[in-house]
Structure 1
């Protein structure tokens, strides 16, 4: 039985940011506060062998919220922080920050997994010699944190989500906000964890819906006591689908990398329903330039990383998820990315330029100036596989396709109009989408 969870402000020291290189809104200027809390309680655990004794935990939660009640839309978004780099990261916040802030959401990032608190080897080859535990990085601020192991991570996420939802008094991190609905979100390893949560643990009223971004065909394994989960065990694991009778909305968003490579999501494809929606995004990779920004060269990829526009589809998906859980308005449907063959022989069907057919279409693939892919041949590293690639198209080929820079811009503008009209991009992102056009590549 989970005990009552207690929040304590984390002060002192310098703190450890989870922000990526992606540009983010100025929270203070937008009327938002940004604070960290220690969160403590007792939770149940489970391993492959069955339940284990309850354990005490003290982990971290980051809360970014409207400072006043006026701008709050009623939705709390709880992100399962990602630990694939060996430390906590918030990839969903990075992709969604513009919509979160302008839309008036509250966001909380939970250090649910052992590695995020206690440190450990990441799965993407970014280890360094610095102390990886939060306490090792900043003992003054995080010295009291303790994680009992990933046998408890699922109940930690549930118990923290429940405590965030239940605003008791003025000391609560979300004091003053009237929370109507709570969305659980996570990307990559965290999406696999949410897949496990949905299919093995959700039997309560903590979360009203799930936003699962870049999962594999399999789900994250159950953990052990005193250690982290090896995400590598997910790849090649048994295919897991969302139960047909699952009562809450589950919105799954997949990139090209996730559909094929060793993620193999195509094996877990399901028809959409009133409680299940899947978008597969053309021209996207598991991670991209938006996430890494000026640090692209640090990755060591032999070719430019993917420069697709998944952030716009993700922001639209969040807006649809809000309407789905709050008002029962289902998101638009989209075709799957086109495949030839199946099983191990599955491959994308591409157009004459080289971009994949089908899926959610972004302006960069419907009015292309580059070949954008999430699947690279013979990746030299895990990072290379995850970040996909961008290939330039000869200006002469583009000029033959469009005839002029003005004609290209007309095509691109029409693609923006179509994406917004179909619900795969937001009107609020129109200017940013237009700024993402590349007329300089057409003119050479």
Structure 2
């Protein structure tokens, strides 16, 4: 595996609506590399001949080796917009930098490098990286998603003796959200037992099945990740933490069909009051989506940060993450729906303060016909004033109850004490009637 620093052009191209932490101020560097090599491939019809590739890796790491934790978080970059994005970094960045982890975003899929059709109703990026910036990315080449799984592993493994050779790398944790989670589902089931590259997996917002094997010179068929039979996780000797939102358990993701018991190798968290994407992802650009209702303002970011910390400890031989109840479903098995509390939030699942001490109804299921992107971002609706007045005699009472819920979530292991100040600041006393 060869790594060459990428320079020139307009700087790295990676879709993000929020800036994330100030890396330089925190003692981090950010460098982009071209990663090239040769890997074997696998199509639905069998092996594909070895092929050369040149893809990109964006690396964020502590500048001082002494500040490095030993853990590298390797994100399978998401291509659902027709271009690479790093949604998991957006959720996890605060935990990554305070822990001293390194982060590597890998352009693993054909669409991320060569461009292609967007899966979420956004404009296509047909020209790929080179079309965006030929000076910087002109050498990029992806042989097709028949090779994406081996490419991801080869690039991640190559980091140890490549750009991170001066660090004492002890663990590689693979993470991915949405389509990338579907890819990692397939990776864990079919490739992890052979490659032995990663020490843990955080799979966030998967569908009922995994991303299918692709063809030479083409992207994988994403539709099959929603239509194929349910895919569960065997014990591959490596910890797997799956984090699912309300959108993922029902809607066309249907991951409820792939539910399985927790084991010492697999944990599944379904988080109440969350949607496939949310305000933390879109930040100040919410209006651009054109959704008829404010997007979901749930607290999955705090749960994901706790999940990463648990996974890191678990991969070191520590105890598995806490067990969580699934989201509560009612109705027939072939068409279930959520059970809701008196306010309208879903029962069961991982609980956060915003659903246990609610001022809003936070949903990952959008009932009215909307665009695909708005369906993924869920909704937030206000609880009527008269209901709020019945729940909370005063704003002070609300804040006390909310603070107690924060402490419960921390004690239960689904929120980090390090995030206490942030989640307390996420309280919503302004929603209460003025006389409260």
TM-score by length of 2: 0.97
Distance in 1 separating the partners of 2:91 and 2:41: 32
Once residues 319 and 116 of structure 2 are traced to their aligned partners in structure 1, the CA distance between those partners, rounded to angstroms, is 42
Question: What runs of 5+ residues in structure 2 fail to find an aligned partner?
Answer: none
Distance 1:87 1:298 in 2: 18
Per the TM alignment, residue 56 of structure 1 is displaced from its structure 2 partner at its CA by 0.5
Per the alignment, residue 209 of structure 2 pairs with 218
* SS in structure 1 of the partner of residue 432 of structure 2: helix
Matched, 1:72 2:68: yes
Matches within 5 A, 1:245-284: 245-284=235-274
Matched, 1:32 2:28: yes
1:133 is aligned to 2:128: yes
* Match status 1:357 vs 2:351: no
CA distance in 2 between counterparts of 1:193 and 1:242 reads 13
Q: Deviations over 1:376-406 (max 9, x none)?
A: 1133111121001011111221011111100
| CA–CA distance in structure 1, aligned partners of residues 332 and 10 of structure 2 | 51
Q: What's the secondary structure of 1:70's corresponding residue? A: helix
Tell me by how many angstroms 1:246 deviates.
2.1
What SS does the corresponding residue of 2:21 show, helix, strand or coil? coil
| Shift, 1:206, TM fit | 0.5
For the residues of structure 1 that align with 2:265 and 2:87, how far apart are their CA atoms?
25
d(CA) in 2 for partners of 1:342 and 1:298?
Answer: 37
Contact 2:13–2:129 (CA under 8 A) maintained in structure 1? no
- What is the distance in 2 between the residues matched to 1:191 and 1:270? 17
> 2 CA distance for matches of 1:95 and 1:344?
32
Structure 1 unaligned blocks of 5 or more: none
Residue number in structure 2 paired with 1:206: 197
Structure 2 residue aligned with 1:155: 150
Q: Distance in 2 between matches of 1:416 and 1:277?
A: 22
CA RMSD across the alignment: 1.2
| Partner residue, 2:433 | 443
Question: What SS class does the counterpart of residue 225 from structure 1 fall into?
Answer: coil
Residues 342, 216 of structure 1: CA spacing in aligned structure 2 closer, same or farther, 3 A cutoff?
farther
The SS at the match of 1:55 is strand
Give 1:57's aligned residue.
53
Compute the displacement of 1:194 (Å).
Answer: 0.4
Aligned residue number for residue 96 of structure 2: 100
Q: Which whole-Å CA distance do the structure 1 matches of 2:66 and 2:332 have between them?
A: 51
The alpha carbon displacement at 1:345 in A equals 1.6
Aligned match of 2:166: 176
Structure 1 residues 132, 301: CA separation in 2 closer, same or farther (over 3 Å shift)? farther
- Runs of 4 or more consecutive aligned structure 1 residues displaced over 3 Å after TM superposition: none
Report how many residues are paired.
433
Structure 1 position 310, deviation (Å): 0.3
Q: Distance in 1 between matches of 2:277 and 2:63?
A: 31
Q: Of residues 418, 422, 431 in structure 2, which corresponds to 1:432?
A: 422
Counterpart position of 2:331 = 341
Q: Which secondary structure state, in structure 2, belongs to the residue aligned with residue 120 of structure 1?
A: coil
Q: Is the 8 A contact 2:117 2:126 kept in 1?
A: no
Cα distance in 2 for partners of 1:102, 1:401 equals 37
Encode CA deviations 1:67-100: one digit per residue, 9 max, x unaligned: 1112111111110000000000000000000000
Q: Is the 8 A contact 1:210 1:251 kept in 2?
A: yes
- Secondary structure of the 1:231 match is coil
Contact in 2 for aligned 1:131/1:137 (Cα 8 Å) = no
Q: TM-score, normalised by structure 1?
A: 0.96
User: What's the counterpart of residue 41 of structure 1?
Assistant: 37
Alignment partners' CA distance in 2, 1:7 and 1:45? 21
Kindly indicate whether residue 377 of structure 2 is the aligned counterpart of residue 376 of structure 1: no
Cα distance in structure 2, aligned partners of 1:246 and 1:175: 28
1:41-83, CA deviations, whole angstroms, 9 ceiling, x for partnerless residues? 0111111110011110000001000011121111111100000
Q: How far 1:175 sits from its partner (Å)? A: 2.9
Equivalent position to 1:311, from 285, 289, 301: 301
Instruction: State the Cα distance separating 1:220 from its structure 2 match.
Output: 0.5
Shift of residue 230, structure 1, vs aligned partner? 2.7
Give the structure 1 partner of residue 228 of structure 2: 237
**Alignment partners' CA distance in 2, 1:390 and 1:213:** 21
